Amino acid sequence: MPTPVDEIRVASWPELNERLFEGSWKADLRRFRSSYAFRGQSDVRGDLKTSVARLGGNLDLEAHLLRNFRKYAQHQAAPGDSVWNWLAVAQHHGLPTRLLDWTYSPYVAMHFATENVADQAADGVIWCVDYVQTNALLPDTLQRILAEEGSFVFTAEMLERAAATLAEFDRLSQQTFVAFFEPPSLDERIVVQFALFSLVSNYKLGLDTWLANYPHVCRKIVIPSSLKWEVRDKLDQANITERVMQPGLDGLSRWLKRYYTPRLDPTPGDQ
């Protein structure tokens, strides 16, 4: 039976910060360098299914979606014709893919766990996955490329050296594996969100299902609904907002709408 992922319920802003940066000290570097990727979700009951897996069905939908995206998109939409660049572009523009969005930044993850006012009554969650430990579960081919590059995550160019297609990638091992890769800097949003993607070798498998077999590589930090407003207000004060996360007028409008939405639940001082 799979072991449940370690779930940590924090009780305060200081504890949340402490937990998110826990284990980031690297004695060999004498620096604080976390090896975790973070993903914030506004409702702890949510899973880690990819958008293409949510479509369901028995057909190989992923191949059809990506083929037609490449056919109809402008040729210059991707920085190079690699399938990995096209996959990143497709994910960035909302096409259902096997990718999930992550970030190197705990504060960006906090933002996405607290930005949805409609979910403020639900506990939020930040998933934390140690990509150094997931790398130890990669096929030899991928581990060798990382070692040659002295890197802990892949680029599109590095993945291209291992597999020119998604089908080739999936065949690198009989065991399902997960790789993390950094998308090309497609626009300012990718850059400011300090983004990276997770990539599972079985596109129909939810990442949380895979993680249940390797609970030592991750943890879930639960933000109680009673703490969400405090976290949200402090992030706003730190300028971690929609206006920054989504540069442009759309992000500005989303930020202003949320910022001026009144808080209707009783606060501790009201009770």
pLDDT of residue 265: 72
pLDDT of residue 229: 95
Residues 80-90 pLDDT 10s: 788 999 999 89
pLDDT of residue 266: 62
Low-confidence stretches of the chain (pLDDT beneath 70): 1-3, 57-59, 76, 266-271
Please state, in angstroms and as integers, the Cα–Cα distance from residue 20 to each residue in 101, 115, 176, 225, 235, following that order.
Answer: 18, 18, 27, 18, 15
Instruction: Say if CB 199 and CB 37 are below 8 A apart.
Output: no
Task: Give percent of the chain above pLDDT 90.
Answer: 72
158's enclosing H/E stretch is: helix 156-162
pLDDT of residue 269: 52
Rounded Cα distance between 80 and 78, Å, is 6
Give the number of other Cβ atoms within 10 Å of residue 3's Cβ.
10
